[in-house]
Amino acid sequence: MRFCGQVVKQVRGLTTAKNLVTVLDVFELEGWPTRIDDPLSPSSKGQRLREVVRSLNKGQTILRFSADGSSHGFTWRAS
């Protein structure tokens, strides 16, 4: 995934990668709004949301991701 021409995240692993790619794809497709609704399935929402945010931020230097506080979306900001 790219943001302003820079690679945002390279992902590996089957399940985690699928979730990360889904979230990043939605941000990219919507033109990088500061918040998106959670595009993932509703199972174990709170825990999965935290795991995805943790994985998105691992080794991240360009952007910082977080949950939106309602357990229904993701946000980002420049690092």
- 76, burial (CB in 10 Å: exposed 0-12, middle 13-18, buried 19+): buried
Q: What pTM was estimated for this model as a whole? A: 0.79
Domain residue extents for the chain: 2-78
Backbone angles phi, psi at 19, to 5 degrees: -65, -45
**Packed helices 14-29 and 45-57: angle between N→C axes, nearest 10 degrees:** 80
Residue 24's CB: how many other CB atoms inside 10 A?
22
Q: Tell me, what's the pLDDT at 12?
A: 65
Q: Residues 63-72: what's their mean pLDDT?
A: 89
Model confidence over 5-64: pLDDT tens digits? 776 766 666 566 888 889 999 999 999 999 999 998 776 567 888 889 998 998 888 899
pLDDT beyond 90 at 1: no
Distance CA 27, CA 47 (A): 21
